[in-house]
Amino acid sequence: MITWEDFYTVMCAMVPLYFAMFVAYGSVKWWKIFTPEQCSGINRFVATFAVPVLSFHFISHNNPYQMDSRFILADTLSKLLVLVILSLWASLSAACAGPRRRGRRLDWVITLFSVGTLPNTLVMGIPLLRAMYGDFTQSLMVQLVVLQCIIWYTLLLFLFEYRAATMLIEDQFPGTAAAAIAKFEVDGDIISLDGRDPIRAESEVDADGRIRVRIRRSISSVLDSGLSSSIGITPRRLSNISGAEIYSVNTPVRQPASADRLTVRDITLGCRSASPHLSGYASSDSYSLQPTPRASNFNEMEIGTPVWVRSPAAPAGMLIRQQSPATPGALKLAWEGCGGQGDKDVGGEKDLSFRSTSKFVVDKEDEEEELEVEGDQEMPAAFVMLRLILTVLGRKLSRNPNTYSSILGLLWSLISFKWGVDMPTLVKESIKIISDAGLGMAMFSLGLFMALQPRIIACGPKMAAISMAIRFLSGPMVMSVASMVVGLRGVRLHTAIVQAALPQGIVPFVFAREYGLHPDILSTGVIFGMLVSLPVTLLYYILLGL
């Protein structure tokens, strides 16, 4: 039976975490202490130093020779069970669907797996469960953190890269041509196929009819030569054209002097990417031609014929890029304004990414024709695809600080607890001074993230309700079944169930944002999930204690 003293102990562990989060939220939303650029710097410090060092601290102090095999097996079995169920659903539903719709099934497999199985164990799980069930739960949570960082996040990245690779192949090698691809060569400056950087595929056919594909970054010289010579723009942050801007989603709406007359401020620049891969560039990648907080990425894109159209300053709050006479069949590019119509879809828009990204308007008839043409889409051999994905996956992981912190922490713990080697005091105290601040800074970073979002519920109330049900109901139910199957009982069973009801982890959202796959759902899971997780976990704690 849960006593008031137990309840107070849990609240003493949770309230300080939420205090740090709400202080950060208020410092941006209400008190205007931090600018978005300063928030970006704080978040980068947390992601690069605070959380990896905190993870290393917990992992290096955990005895790997006394790991709870049944607890780990229950967690692994629950995740595999969810993955198998989602895979079966995707396979059965894709049997009578076209290739594009099969890809969408994979999209939902990735998203639902992230929502249902990857909670915020490091930041929320350790202090909460230690207060609920005792200090021994810290070791259990650390064991799950190790598995998350080394196995499950790697698997998630593998699925994201596989999806990105299939999209690239379908776009540039439609039909049966892809089946003849024998080898992929990836340039050294390509870290990922997530589409954040413009890439292109160059192919050559050998004497045996096999195709070799080289994936490389798109050349930006078109901007220097074609665009600069045509309208006199140099690829610098300072522009000779006063008042002309490249608008993003968050550009404030300015009413023009007259609704019937276009002025210089009512004009913006529309450009077409030469790469057929629809990568969904974030609005933060297109900066104003006036001085900006950092250098623009805009000169990395290949530029086609510029088209002048009405900007978001128009009363409608929406920019539609019309077809250029020089580039027939070009995609129309719609920019979402900040006015009252900014949250609505227009016409036949196909939203390929989150609120802060551009939208490509695809005509429905063209989409149907595309589905018919690609009805016999084939893919390269499994070994060829696996080699491509492992190449970019290795590069991605090699630049992730959490990968190093988890592996180094595990290696040190193996050495330390095997031979009784203590960490030198100089190193230990240097790590401790950052790790002590890591938990509070992680919660502070979550508060900044919440304050910078346009809406707490970004995916709509219906989808938010579904994702919350998966997160706080389906996740604990699957974990309870898996735990009972492997024989978990008592306090460890309660710990496993409450751990499965923790809020959404932020790492899956970061991946979803990078790859442009349902980041609005993951964002809602992080923000709204943090708000409702406290009463939900307390409810589980009380019910399991009856």
Residues 315-371: pLDDT tens digits?
A: 443 434 444 344 444 443 333 333 333 333 333 333 333 333 333 333 444 444 444
Domain span at residue 450 reads: 4-161+400-545
With vertex at residue 332, the alpha carbon angle to CA 326 and CA 333, rounded to the nearest 5 degrees, is 115
Task: State residue 76's pLDDT score.
Answer: 96
Any domain includes 67: yes
* Gap between the Cα atoms of 483 and 478, Å rounded: 9
Any domain includes 490: yes
pTM over 0.75: no
Q: Is the pLDDT of residue 23 over 90?
A: yes
Q: How far is CA 3 from CA 10, 127, 498, in A?
A: 11, 19, 18
How many structural domains comprise the chain? Answer: 1
Least confident range from 143-152, 216-225, 507-516: namely 216-225
Query: Taking Cα atoms as reference points, which of 208, 111, 165, 59 lies closest to residue 386?
Result: 165
Yes or no: say if 142 and 343 are a contact pair by the CB < 8 Å rule.
no
Which pLDDT tens digit goes with each residue over 142-192? Answer: 999 999 988 999 999 999 999 999 888 888 888 788 888 888 999 888 888
Least confident range from 265-269, 284-288, 464-468: namely 284-288
Any domain includes 214: no
Yes or no: say if 283 and 249 are a contact pair by the CB < 8 Å rule.
yes
| CATH for 455 | 1.20.1530
Phi and psi, residue 395, nearest 5°: -65, -40
Any domain includes 324: no
Any domain includes 506: yes
Any domain includes 319: no
Any domain includes 240: no
Question: What average pLDDT does this structure show over 270-298?
Answer: 37
Task: Tell me the pLDDT band of 456, cut-offs 50, 70 and 90.
Answer: confident
Whole-number average pLDDT of the chain: 75
User: Coil, strand or helix: which one is 490?
Assistant: helix
470 by Cβ neighbours in 10 Å (0-12 / 13-18 / 19+) ranks as buried
Any domain includes 12: yes
**Residues of 262-298 as b/e, b for ≥16 C-beta within 10 angstroms?**
beeebbbbbbbbebebbbbbbbbbbbbbeeeeeebbb
Task: State residue 375's pLDDT score.
Answer: 52
Task: Tell me the pLDDT band of 91, cut-offs 50, 70 and 90.
Answer: confident
Task: Tell me the pLDDT band of 471, cut-offs 50, 70 and 90.
Answer: very high
